[in-house]
Chains A and B, each alone.
Chain A
Amino acid sequence: QITLKESGPTLVKPTQTLTLTCSFSGFSLSTSAVGVGWIRQPPGKALECLALIYWDDDKRYSPSLKSRLTITKDTSKNQVVLTMTNMDPVDTATYYCAHRLMDDYGDSEAFDHWGQGTLVTVSS
Chain B
Amino acid sequence: QSALTQPASVSGSPGQSITISCTGTSSDVGGYNFVSWYQQHPGKAPKLMIYEVTNRPSGVSNRFSGSKSGNTASLTISGLQAEDEADYYCNSYSSKSTLGIFGGGTKLTVL
- Using CB atoms and an 8 Å cutoff, list the residues of chain A in contact with chain B: 37, 39, 46-52, 60-64, 96, 101, 103, 108-112, 114-117
Query: How many A-B residue contacts, CB cutoff 8 Å?
Result: 74
Cross-interface CB contact of A63 among B1, B32, B93, cutoff 8 Å:
B1
Chain A residues contacting B3 (CB-CB under 8 Å) are: 46
Report the contact-size class of chain B (Cβ under 8 Å from the partner): 20 to 34
Chain B residues contacting A112 (CB-CB under 8 Å) are: 48, 51, 57
* Among A47, A108, A117: residue with most chain B CB under 10 A: A47
Chain A residues contacting B96 (CB-CB under 8 Å) are: 63
A52 touches B99 (CB 8 A): yes
Cross-interface CB contact of B46 among A62, A109, A114, cutoff 8 Å:
A114
* Chain A nearest CB, measured from B33 CB (Å): 9
B89 touches A46 (CB 8 A): yes
- Docked pose: A69 CA to B93 CA in angstroms: 20
- Docked pose: A109 CA to B91 CA in angstroms: 9
Please judge, given known A-B contacts A47-B102, A49-B101, A64-B1, whether A110 and B45 are in contact too, CB under 8 Å. no
- Using CB atoms and an 8 Å cutoff, list the residues of chain B in contact with chain A: 1, 3, 32, 34, 36, 38, 45-48, 51-52, 55, 57, 89, 91-93, 96-105
Cross-interface CB contact of A60 among B48, B99, B103, cutoff 8 Å:
B99
* Chain A nearest CB, measured from B94 CB (Å): 9
**Chain B interface mostly:** loop
What are some 18 contacts across the A-B interface (CB < 8 A)?
A37-B99, A46-B89, A46-B102, A46-B103, A46-B104, A46-B105, A47-B38, A61-B99, A62-B99, A63-B1, A96-B46, A101-B57, A103-B52, A109-B36, A109-B51, A110-B34, A110-B36, A110-B51
* Chain A nearest CB, measured from B93 CB (Å): 4
Chain A residues contacting B97 (CB-CB under 8 Å) are: 49, 62-63
Please give me the residue from chain B that is nearest to A114 by CB atom: B45
* Among A46, A103, A112: residue with most chain B CB under 10 A: A46
Chain B residues contacting A39 (CB-CB under 8 Å) are: 46
* Chain A nearest CB, measured from B101 CB (Å): 7
Chain A residues contacting B91 (CB-CB under 8 Å) are: 47, 49, 109-110
